[in-house]
Structure 1
Amino acid sequence: MQPAPELNALRETIRRIEAGGRRASAVLPFGVAELDARLPGGGLALGSLHEVAGGGNGAIDGAAAALFAAGIMARTTGPVLWCLTRPDLFAPALAQAGLAADRVIYVEAGDETAVMACFEEGLRHGGLGGVVAELGRLSMTPSRRLQLAAESSGTPGIALRRWRRQADARDFGQPTAAATRWRVSALPSVPLPVAGIGRARWHVELIRCRAGETADFNVEACDAQGRLGVSAELADRSVHARPAGRAALA
């Protein structure tokens, strides 16, 4: 039975009241149908906060997570603010993931408190394609401020979780206001018919999705336009995903 027109109108009124003065949220599709199908609206919400971390504590998974974030930002329009405390970001690698050097504004802050302040200011600015901030810790209260800032401007924000010590990673997985939470791990590269190194591959886990479902995928790493590739596992529809009926925490 279809809902009555009066009920639909009431739901729309409630949605507008809850949204307040915030902009309608647009989405950025990944271009991988199986992945986009797991995200509300068919893509990554632009006016929202997202969390990305490496699947392990090593440098390789951490680099994969950074390139995953760079690939997302590569497909936005406008300059990208990247906030960090250590000058250890390899710009040519970001360019290979589609994020050209002339689009990135680097902010090297003294500590994570300063990074958080720059993150929030960048999200509120409204003239950026996106903001990435490298953070070890992220609790609910500051994440709410970041989410509200992203909603107010329509700018996507990525909290790139990086840890110097294992103990610093303890809060990852605790509730935050982020719309999605991702974990990226490096896989063996695509095999070639001759000796050499093929395109990098990642195991991408969507471990939290507001109003969506969790899932995980094996994909080919971002190309020069920031686009993920469809690996053999996805092409054959043998996706390593959690049961479809398992909803993520809201």
Structure 2
Amino acid sequence: MTAVREHVIAELRDRIASLRGSAARQAGCLPFGIAEIDDRLPGGGLAYGALHEFAGGGAGTVDGAAAALFVAGVAARTKGKIVWCLTRPDLFFPSLAQVGLNANRVIFVESDKEEDLLANMEEALSYGGLGAVVGEIVRLPMVASRRLQLAAEKSGTLAMIVRRWRRQTEANDFGQPTASTTRWRVSVMPSEELPVPGVGRGQWLLELMRSRAGECAEFLVGACDDKGRIDIPSRSGDRSNSTGRSRHSG
């Protein structure tokens, strides 16, 4: 009887995985247009209908500004309105415009409590027809992340969480398990040097810390341009291959 039960459970798990895979294929993905990155992601890009998690690294661990700009650049390349949920209205609109996200496309939803923010995100994801739903949050409990993942799957909307902490000790929560499909850390690096004295284009170290059914990796990239696009500087073209981790992440 136990063997039969285990066989039935295994079949159900396979069917559920198949259905999830089918839904993911129907939703599609948003490629970065960089083979070194897209090849690391199942489907060849950032999956629609899924939850993705981002945080700042290095000196920007607490404020998460680079992570927020990276997310804004991703959102800029989607179609439709963007719902951005937050508890601290401190986004600098000109910075969003610099990475291609026009403020006219963004519907900002402010909440006093993170529980309300999560509920607003879930409702926005369930609405459908949006380019992306973004939420800035300190903690992401597993149950809440599962609800967001399910809501994203049903509507096919891109869901992105920006982890912004008020103090360094809160950053330890980033290592806790969540239902996110991918998890990224974004660190500010020295600007790209120009052939003449001046201010070069900003650079980020992108760390793909988790990719469901994929591998971890890291990439030195040029920060988002005014179309939301990143690139890999020519002089560091081999960096992703030399620093990418080959272990599976989930």
- Fold match, TM over 0.5? yes
Partner of 1:5: none
Partner of 1:19: 20
Partner of 1:31: 33
Output the CA distance in 1 between the equivalents of 2:39 and 2:63.
25
State the aligned residue count: 237
- Give 2:170's aligned amino acid: D
Contact 1:49 1:150 in 2 (8 A): yes
Output the CA distance in 2 between the equivalents of 1:60 and 1:112.
17
Residue segments in structure 1 that go unaligned for 5+ positions in a row: 1-9
Identical pairs, percent: 56
Structure 1 residue 168 displacement after superposition: 1.9
Give 3-state SS (helix, strand or coil) of 1:181's partner: strand
Q: Deviations over 1:164-208 (max 9, x none)?
A: 012222211111100000000000111112221111000000000
Give 3-state SS (helix, strand or coil) of 1:52's partner: strand
- Give 2:138's aligned amino acid: G
Partner of 1:44: 46
Written as runs of structure 1 = structure 2, the 5 A alignment for 1:123-142 is 123-142=125-144
Contact 1:57 1:163 in 2 (8 A): no
Output the CA distance in 1 between the equivalents of 2:47 and 2:170.
28
Contact 1:123 1:150 in 2 (8 A): yes
Give 3-state SS (helix, strand or coil) of 1:146's partner: helix
Q: For 1:73, which of 69, 72, 75 is the aligned residue? A: 75
Partner of 1:98: 100
| Structure 1 or 2: more helix by fraction | 2
- Give 2:57's aligned amino acid: G
Partner of 1:185: 187
Output the CA distance in 2 between the equivalents of 1:35 and 1:102.
30
- Give 1:102's aligned amino acid: N
Moved more, 18-27 or 154-163: 18-27
Q: Structure 1 16/233 Cα, relative in aligned 2: closer, same or farther at 3 Å? A: same
Partner of 1:63: 65
Q: Structure 1 186/83 Cα, relative in aligned 2: closer, same or farther at 3 Å? A: same
Output the CA distance in 1 between the equivalents of 2:163 and 2:59.
10
Output the CA distance in 1 between the equivalents of 2:34 and 2:62.
24
Partner of 2:197: 195
